[in-house]
Amino acid sequence: MAEKLNDQIIDSRRLFYFYHVAQAGSFSRAEAAASAPQPIISRHISKLEEDLGLQLLERHGRGVSLTPFGEILQRHAGTILNEMAETLAELDTASRQPVGQISIAASATIMSLYMPEIVTRFIAENPEVELTAVQASTGEVYSQLIGGKADIGIVLEVPNKAKFETEALSEDAMAVVISTNHALAKERSVPRTALQDLDLVLPAASHGLRSIINQYAAAGHLRMTPKLQIDSIPLIRAIVAKGKYATILPTSTAEYEFDEGFTVLPIKPALSRTIYAAYSKESRRLDLIERLMQHVRSAFAEGPAG
């Protein structure tokens, strides 16, 4: 007998209707809970009785009552249906879990100007992938990339070419940013030779912007010693606003971060920075990296938001 029962399967829909009729004591009262009309409920229960070869319900004018066989099935029906519901819920949760993970690191300005488009487009096409966007200073972006904590880093210098694949995304002119109260505010540009005479506040990190500025100064045989070294753009802006200090920043950053009350002057000869995307050639996530890179390229090709 046990072997025969193991081969039998109870139809879940029929069991569902039986359970609600058994709970309600009538077909009519079971309609709302079962979300089905009486004829359909009755037909399914009759088919269940046929499948089992057993009478489960006694039908009478006041409704229905359970036979001994029906009582046995009712005792187990709730447990069976609850376990099925829990199984479906677990499957649904599993189906919505990310099937992949990827991370990208960039500076605060890149995050503001480009990352909203990159993130929203990537997730729209890859809803099953978990994406992490890390905002960091230039030096921290390198650390995230080299340490393997970021799959893609938006950087200003080319990392180790033997280990990293690097792709140029855009080029941006650098400029001197000063308060409108600064002594040079009425000038049209700033010659390289004048940079060493300015009270400068520059990025502290040796990577990225600071490295580009140092190389530019060295090419002109200048030695610039900044009065202040700060990696916070809001703090740089607050200090420059007082009128004494100047800073050197990409024009895109200056236009986005420095509003009224500041003057942006080009440097002569021109100084520019190139923004790169870098990622490990040995990453196990090269497929996801390429998917994300498609949106990185598009966002930079279209230009900054706003």
Q: Is the pLDDT of residue 60 over 90?
A: no
Domain boundary among 77, 95, 113: 95
Lowest-confidence segment of 201-210, 230-239, 272-281, 284-293 by average pLDDT: 201-210
Compute the half-sphere exposure of residue 48: CA atoms within 13 Å on the CB side of its CA: 24
pLDDT given at position 306: 56
Per residue in 120-162, pLDDT (tens digit) is 999 999 988 899 999 987 778 888 888 889 999 998 877 777 7
Q: What is the pLDDT of residues 205-260, one digit of tens each?
A: 766 788 889 899 999 998 878 889 988 888 999 999 999 999 999 988 888 888 88
pLDDT in tens, 110-125: 898 899 999 999 999 9
Distance, CA of 288 to CA of 283 (rounded, Å):
10
C-alpha pair distances (Å), 260 with each of 45, 184, 188, 272: 77, 16, 17, 24
Residue 95: pLDDT band (50, 70, 90) is low
The mean pLDDT of the chain is: 88
pLDDT score, position 55? 93
Q: Are residues 25 and 74 in the same domain?
A: yes
Verify that 126 and 240 share a domain, yes or no: yes
What's the pTM value of the predicted model, to 2 decimals? 0.61
Indicate the residue among 34, 61, 95 that finishes a domain.
Answer: 95
CATH of the domain at 155: 3.40.190.290
Residues 140 and 278 grouped into a single domain: yes
Is 89:136 a contact under the CB 8 Å cutoff?
A: no
Our count of domains for the chain comes to 2
The full 3-state SS of the chain, as one line of letters, equals CHHHHHHCCCCHHHHHHHHHHHHHCCHHHHHHHHCCCHHHHHHHHHHHHHHHCCCCEEEECCEEEECHHHHHHHHHHHHHHHHHHHHHHHHHHHHCCCCEEEEEEECHHHHHHCHHHHHHHHHHHCCCEEEEEEECCHHHHHHHHHCCCCCEEEECCCCCCCCEEEEEEEEEEEEEEEECCCCCCCCCCEEHHHHHHCCEEECCCCCCHHHHHHHHHHHCCCCCCCCEECCCHHHHHHHHCCCCCEEEEEHHHHHHHCCCCEEEEEEECCCEEEEEEEEECCCCCHHHHHHHHHHHHHHHHHCCCC
Percentage of the chain beyond pLDDT 90 is 48
78 shares its domain with 183: no
Residues 251 and 108 in one domain: yes
| Planar angle of CA 239, 241, 243, nearest 5 degrees | 95
Query: Same domain for 46 and 194?
Result: no
CATH number of domain containing 48? 1.10.10.10
